Amino acid sequence: MATPQKSGSILIVDDHHDILVAAKLFLKRYFAHIEITTNPEKIPSILAQHSFDVLLLDMNFTKDISSGKEGFDWLQRVKNMEATLPVVMMTAYGDIQLAIKAMKMGATDFVLKPWENEAFLKTLKDAIQKQKSEPIFSSTNNYQQKFPEIIGESEPMMAIFNIIEKIAATDANVLVLGENGTGKELIAKAIHKHSNRANAPFVSVDLGSISATLFESELFGHKKGAFTDAHEDRIGRFELAQGGTLFLDEIGNLSPHLQSKLLTALQSRKIVRVGSTKETPIDIRLICATNMALSDMISKKEFRQDLLYRINTIEIDLPPLRKRKDDILLLANYYLKQYSKKYQKKLEGFHKSACSELKNYSWPGNIRELQHAIERAVIMSNTTLLYTDDFHLKKQNIASETTDDSWDATTLHDIEKQHIKKVMTTHEGNISSAAEQLGITRASLYRRLKKYDL
């Protein structure tokens, strides 16, 4: 009989050592790497150190014999840590309701102990194959697979993905609109990556950071001696992007005079280096971006209408994060994983109240603000979960979130004090229960009780 080809890696977690040994003896013929542990508390550290194709997770550990509660808890925590990792649950109890609940909570499949070897192996291999054939982050479409550089599965982002897919292979000029921090350059890079110019350069220029005196030199290049400090010939951004894509960010910052020079180059498809009379043909795909309302600027004669026509053959209006709430936790988990690894922190996810806080916050700084908030929270955290008070988000009308008509506080200080007092009364002074409802740690609650003399 031919020896099976080994591939893939698997983590097996079961509190019975004999089960682990039996599973490993059988599966080592098929998997290149197998890790086992009887202690589910080790899951976060193991996942932080190694990448796995599938997790085989027992549903019942010694603390809880047959309800599956511990297995469900660990399934949720794993999904917070590794959203795309396939999880196959194991149980010795043939309760179909547990299987249904596990599947609803994100398990890929379910096996009963004792298992039949061929069916057992097929379940694991099918789970791995299913994950590979499905979009990243469990999206209901295939866009996330095609554009993994952009994280999102909300309805507004599905529309954006649809536009990118249709226009990427063309040479149409694109204008990306959106607030600061929404990821306009990511959109530009995705268009380039999926275009026929993908193997040529992608050159990004922040027009907001280029002074008017250096504009022509930066974009068109210059000849040696063209001006003071021009000690040698220099190629401009248009020529650097030859055959590829030129991304002009913050185009709304250009003065009308510089807009005219840019329009001339785009119309003629030629540039002239400063200090030269020789025209150089250019072959680029142009993508521009701005957070400014160009139509309003046109009415005020601050932006040329003919230039707008030239740059916005296709217009993409990127939504702010507050209008794509379904993507907030997706992004938060992505950055949590990224920064946990960077700062070597063993963080398992977000407390449920923190999830609610993140989703309901307006994020005026958009994705960039969320990214910085997660990074700061990871750095400062000394627990396994991130809590509400780890983020220090700007307060947003806390008083409106309560149905208690007795609020008479006029400052955030008074509002917080009254809310903590109310929660402590509700839980009859139980610190743990009150902290749980408030979404903060016991230590944080103690500090606030001391601060407000409660």
Tens-binned pLDDT, residue by residue, of the chain (454 aa): 456 677 889 999 998 888 999 999 999 999 989 999 999 989 988 887 888 899 999 887 655 455 557 788 888 888 877 777 899 988 765 555 676 677 777 888 888 888 888 889 998 998 888 776 544 333 444 677 788 889 998 888 988 998 998 999 999 999 999 999 999 999 999 999 999 999 999 999 999 888 888 898 889 988 887 777 777 888 889 999 999 999 999 999 999 999 999 999 999 999 999 888 899 999 999 999 999 999 899 999 999 999 999 999 999 999 999 999 999 999 999 999 999 999 998 898 999 888 989 999 999 999 999 999 999 999 998 888 999 888 888 655 433 344 444 444 456 667 777 788 887 777 767 777 777 777 777 777 777 777 777 7
For residue 10, the model assigns a pLDDT of 94
For residue 212, the model assigns a pLDDT of 85
For residue 2, the model assigns a pLDDT of 57
Tokens of 233: 């010939």
Tokens of 340: 């946990």
Give 424's contacts (C-beta < 8 A, 6+ positions apart): 434, 449, 454
For residue 400, the model assigns a pLDDT of 37
Give the Cα-Cα-Cα angle 154, 100, 142 (nearest 5 degrees): 30
Other Cβ atoms within 10 Å of 326 Cβ, number: 13
For residue 397, the model assigns a pLDDT of 40
For residue 95, the model assigns a pLDDT of 56
CATH topology for the 324-451 domain: Helicase, Ruva Protein; domain 3 (1.10.8)
For residue 431, the model assigns a pLDDT of 76
For residue 74, the SS3 value is: helix
For residue 5, the model assigns a pLDDT of 72
Does the domain spanning 9-134 belong to CATH 3.30.870.10?
no
For residue 422, the model assigns a pLDDT of 80
pTM, two decimal places: 0.59
Q: Check for a shared fold between 168-319 and 324-451.
A: no
Superfamily (CATH) of domain 168-319: P-loop containing nucleotide triphosphate hydrolases (3.40.50.300)
Distance, CA of 105 to CA of 128 (rounded, Å): 18
Domain edges within the chain: 9-134, 168-319, 324-451
Tokens of 283: 């072959």
Other Cβ atoms within 10 Å of 447 Cβ, number: 13
